[in-house]
Amino acid sequence: MGLTKQYLRYVASAVFGVIGSQKANIAYVTLRGGEKGRYIAAAACEHVFIWDVRKGEKVMILEGQKHEVTFLRASPDGVSIAVGYEDGAVRIFSLLNGESNVSFNGHKSAVSIICYDELGARLVTGSKDTDVIVWDIINECGLYRLRGHKGLITQALFLKDKNLLVTSSKDSFVKWWDLDTQHCFKTIVGHRSEVWGMVLLDRESRLLTGSADSELRAWDITYLQEVKAEGEPEEKRGKIELVEDEDEGDQEGEADEGPEERILSCKKVGSILREARDRVVSLAADARTGVIACHGNDSILEVFRVLPEAEVQQKMKKKEKRARKKAARAQEEMGEDAGELTVKRTLKDEITRLTHIKASAKIRWAECLSCPGGELKVALLLQNNTIETYSLKAASTTPTSNKTARLTLGGHRTDVRTLAFSSDNLAVLSASGDTIKVWNRATLQVIRTMACEYALCSLFVPGDRQIILGTKSGKLQIFELASGSLLETVDAHDGALWSLCLAPDQRGLVTGSADKTVKFWEFELIKDGEMSHKRLTVKHKRTLQLEEDVLCVKFSPDHRLLAVSLLDCTVKLFYTDTLKFFLSLYGHKLPVLCLDICHDSTLIATGSADRNVKIWGLDFGDCHRSMFAHDDSVMFLQFLPKTHLFFTAGKDKKIKQWDADKFEHIQTLEGHHREVWCLAVSPSGDHLVSASHDKSLRLWERTREPVILEEEREMEREAEFEESMSKGDIPVVPGEAPGEAAPAGKKTIETVKAAERIMEALELFKDENRKMEEHKYVCEAAGKQLPPPNPNPILVAFGNISPSRYVLDVIRKVRSSELEVSLLVLPFSYVPELLKLFNGYIQQGLEVELVCRCLFFLLRIHFGQISSNQMLLTVMDQLRTNTVAQVRQIRDVMGFNSAALQFLQREIESREEVTFFAEATGKLKERKRRRTKRERVVLTIA
């Protein structure tokens, strides 16, 4: 059957206009050959942009899929970056090539925190689902899930020398986890509200927490096992003792004896008062320079410094000296003995307020980085789609912050409310509450940036040399693109100017406003003062007075009619020449926010806040069809040039294409993560640009690929079915009671498909074995050797491999992070055959590590059924013998290779007098010191 009508598919082409998304944070990264502190990774909707702050350019894009980025963290070695998404997935990207090779999927909702351990081998993630998951990056699998919090996880930190984890949450608790036993051994309950941030200080001997008040609470950590091993009681340092705040008291209910005190004790020692009175939004620390930075919902970043012990001792000596003088003076005056003098050491003596940084807008996130020379670099993600960087000397007595860079060119400060295409399809105009930007559509670079009032509508003047803007105050602003200057501001209306429309003869325009008037304007060229050249202006010709506010105006392409949308939910049609009333289109339950007329002036389509789109005939004003278009208000509607196809954009984050002749939904463009405010179709119809509340502008491009409506509906149904499957509960592991620790992975559509592929491979293996047995029986019955049966086409496609090897290849292609969950959903009827195959693989030495991992997991979850099956007794006995032998052999080979490499290293070091893997910076400093010393000697002799 041939196609009766062909539609062409529109696909996403690019995302631009966003510098940093407000849902995620920013992080310093180091690219290959790049200097430290030069590159910043920022989330941009579902992507991650790497910005060069020195040049203000985008140097790399880490492309996501469809879910928004919620958190990102660079690895300790700077080679990769972990990115968490709104659906709970975590992907690790390489900063060398921008590709993602490792992905984890264990959370049910958005990832709220990510943290690496010191070696970068483990990753801990927290989420809105209140779970904490520890992942093994090297093995690409989840280790365990930790349950215990009742609110969103706000911070998670590994302790370097201990296998411990500390987490904080909105449930006001800070929990300590022993990762050896996967249980919570201590809970700090000394906070009155949510704990929003947390840092470790003084070589992990102190914990600083930020809550919803103006205090930063400090907790001293004492490792009891070390104290007992050394035989030293916890003593005060001489005459200096640390004083605890008496107003708070010790609310954590700390006990001297009990199971929670076997690893460490955590005691509150005081608090630091912040200048801000609202909650802590982010709390960052730089361990090398001992700097703490925190901020609230305002524009001030407070910077504190943790003093080294030598400075604290020096400070305390001065304090003691002043106290002695004061006591001696008092003794002389009063004639009394002051007794033994003790000076108490407070938290203010150890942590001092360094400075504060005033940003240009409210701060969303702060990131600190120490650089050589004692310089501290601070990057701030602001709430107005801007990134600012500052530098200061942390060691100086009076440090001053210097603004080093500001990324503003690539986006608007507020939401874009209007878009327009130039007549040659090459330039895109976007206007927001304070600026206009003109973009090159091909390169997505900003051509012009101009300051304006709050813009609501815009258009290019014929010739594309000027643009006209309608503002919220009712003014018309005319800008010249060549110079980027404002030519004229016309007081057009007394209310908000909601709509502009260019006349079909391109000699003027019409404006509609909230002051209940529609005004007609003509273009004119007038002399600009005493200059010889002329400039463009508009001249008022006619006014149409109406009874309600005007929301949208549109000329019919034949210049015969004018359509006006009013606040009373109707659309009125007037004759353009006489302004006489022609028709009234009524039927919408809420005001019509957008409308458009097709190229042949036969149809008018209206979109309303009642979520419906209606198609009307312009001959009699009859409603051809009413369609439920969006799940929220329809914000924009526009026909494609020379067609009866039109696009709608709504507050439900979607853009949809419709056929006004067949009244069919053709395609849905999904990508925006917030309400879509406006849309613009290029004059050629090949491109679309949309703007959203997520600060992003998206370019959509028409391809040559046809859209078959039946296939589209089938794909939508499949996507809904797959999504419903992935939301199902994960099967319960037999023998594991619900507790604090649980498996890390979760059931997704990928794990279900992987389990189906394993089952299909096992079925193929069984079929091939049955065919071979039947062939053998036929040969024995015939008494001669017959040609073997034809192998399965799948095995032929994979190079005529054996069925057992095909099963191993299928298992090997399953992602490491999804392997356990895929085996968990595998029915037990397939397990006996799989165990027999595992025995053969281990005997042959094929993928011993992978097979052992699968074997041990299956034994753990199906132990009862396997141990009670007498037919598997021989197989299990063989597996026990073969597995131990193969694992010992691999261990011996690895040990031998490791010893050989160490021997070669010692030989090369002794022969060439070089040290492998030595710290280059330390050697360089030593050489510089020796050279400086020699130069001084030479100068002294001279």
| Cβ within 8 Å of residue 56, ≥6 positions away | 405, 407, 409, 410
pLDDT for residue 4: 54
- Give the integer Cα–Cα distance in Å for 290 and 617: 72
Contact 89, 67 (CB under 8 A): yes
- Give the dihedral of Cα atoms 280, 282, 285, 291; nearest 10 deg: -60
> What is the DSSP secondary structure assignment for residue 790, as one 8-state letter?
P
Helices 831-844/749-782 angle, 10° precision:
80
Name which of 111-120, 218-227, 384-393 the model is least confident about. Answer: 218-227
What is the mean pLDDT of the segment spanning 853-879? 84
Residue 744: pLDDT band with limits 50, 70, 90? confident
According to the per-residue pLDDT averaged within each range, which of 263-272, 329-338, 601-610 is highest? 601-610
pLDDT tops 60 at residue 249: no
pLDDT tops 50 at residue 93: yes
- Give the integer Cα–Cα distance in Å for 587 and 581: 18
- pLDDT per position as a tens digit, 120-163: 899 999 999 999 999 999 888 888 899 989 999 999 999 887 88
Contact 106, 744 (CB under 8 A): yes
- Give the integer Cα–Cα distance in Å for 186 and 200: 17
pLDDT tops 80 at residue 382: yes
Helices 709-726/749-782 angle, 10° precision:
100
| Cβ within 8 Å of residue 363, ≥6 positions away | 281, 282, 295, 298, 299, 300, 301, 380, 381, 382, 383
pLDDT tops 70 at residue 911: yes
What is the mean pLDDT of the segment spanning 793-816? 85
Residue 551: pLDDT band with limits 50, 70, 90? very high
> What is the DSSP secondary structure assignment for residue 255, as one 8-state letter?
-
> What is the DSSP secondary structure assignment for residue 538, as one 8-state letter?
E
What is the mean pLDDT of the segment spanning 855-876? 84
pLDDT for residue 693: 93
Q: What is the pTM of this model?
A: 0.83
Residue 725: pLDDT band with limits 50, 70, 90? low
Beta-strand pair 215-223/206-211: antiparallel
Which of 812, 557, 673, 528 lies closest to 68 in space, CA to CA?
673
Contact 382, 396 (CB under 8 A): no
Answer with the residue of higher pLDDT: 609 or 816.
Answer: 609
| Cβ within 8 Å of residue 289, ≥6 positions away | 305, 370, 374, 376, 394, 395
Helices 749-782/803-812 angle, 10° precision:
170
- pLDDT per position as a tens digit, 632-687: 999 999 999 999 999 999 999 999 999 999 999 999 999 899 999 999 999 999 99
Strand ranges in 586-633 using DSSP code E only, listed in sequence order: 592-597, 603-608, 612-617, 623-628
Q: What percent of the chain has pLDDT over 70?
A: 89
pLDDT for residue 71: 95
| Mean per-residue pLDDT of the chain | 85
pLDDT for residue 795: 81
pLDDT tops 50 at residue 186: yes
pLDDT for residue 266: 85
What is the mean pLDDT of the segment spanning 215-231? 71
Answer with the residue of higher pLDDT: 644 or 347.
Answer: 644
pLDDT tops 60 at residue 253: no
pLDDT for residue 500: 93
Residue 925: pLDDT band with limits 50, 70, 90? low
Residue 2: pLDDT band with limits 50, 70, 90? very low
- pLDDT per position as a tens digit, 497-516: 999 999 999 999 999 999 99
pLDDT for residue 47: 93
